[in-house]
Amino acid sequence: MSELLALLTPGATPLTADVRGTSQNKITPSDIAGCLAHIDRHTYLYALSKFCLDDNSQDELKMLAVKSAEDRGFTFRDSEPADSIDRLALLALSFSVMGSRCGACNGTGNIAVKNKVDTCERCEGSGNASLSERRLAAVIGTGRWRARKVWMPRFQSLLSDYQIKDDLINTVIYKGLKDE
């Protein structure tokens, strides 16, 4: 997560001189929504859900997430549930919006080892725990081997799309809040 988006968390430090919100030393959900006016609908709803905690349009966001996954041409076996792709899309959306803290570093991305700080090996410095094959297999309704070989790369691909959306949102918000 970028420094600007980290400012949206509770207890964040005051804003820098070149970034401003409508409230003194805070960025409000209204500030975020105002900055997002010119981005695509899926990214807009994703940003509202993730950074403004706006759940009013969850149905539309879920529909767009499923459509995005279906547009990739993912297929499934006859032995897998017919809604496997839908399940994968909703899991990727949920995982991206809510995240999951790494248990080893407690979500910081760093671990103190003796007198120095190292990057957490379990989460590779992201602070987010990865999705287990067992959980993915249970959600999709398939075996663990197929979850690892087929569904996990698809899941990672969908997550990378949300990371691209996060980067776009960061850029748009920074430009919208930057003091000219």
pLDDT tens digits, one per residue of 16-35? 444 455 555 567 777 777 78
Amino acid symbol at 104: A
Mean pLDDT of the chain: 81
Identify the pLDDT of residue 26: 66
Q: How many domains does the chain have?
A: 1
Domain that includes residue 76, residue range: 3-177
Identify the pLDDT of residue 138: 94
The parts of the chain modelled with pLDDT lower than 50 are 1-3, 9-19, 179-180
- What is the gyration radius of the CA atoms in the chain, in angstroms? 18
Give the C-alpha separation, 44 to 42, whole Å: 5
- For the chain, what percent of residues have pLDDT higher than 90? 35
Give the C-alpha separation, 59 to 164, whole Å: 22
Identify the pLDDT of residue 129: 79
The position carrying tokens 């709803």 is: 45
Please provide the size of the chain in residues.
180
Query: How crowded is residue 108: how many other Cβ atoms within 10 Å of its Cβ?
Result: 15
CA-wise closest residue to 27 among 47, 52, 50, 44: 52
CA-wise closest residue to 102 among 128, 67, 77: 128
Identify the pLDDT of residue 51: 78
Whole-model pTM above 0.85? no
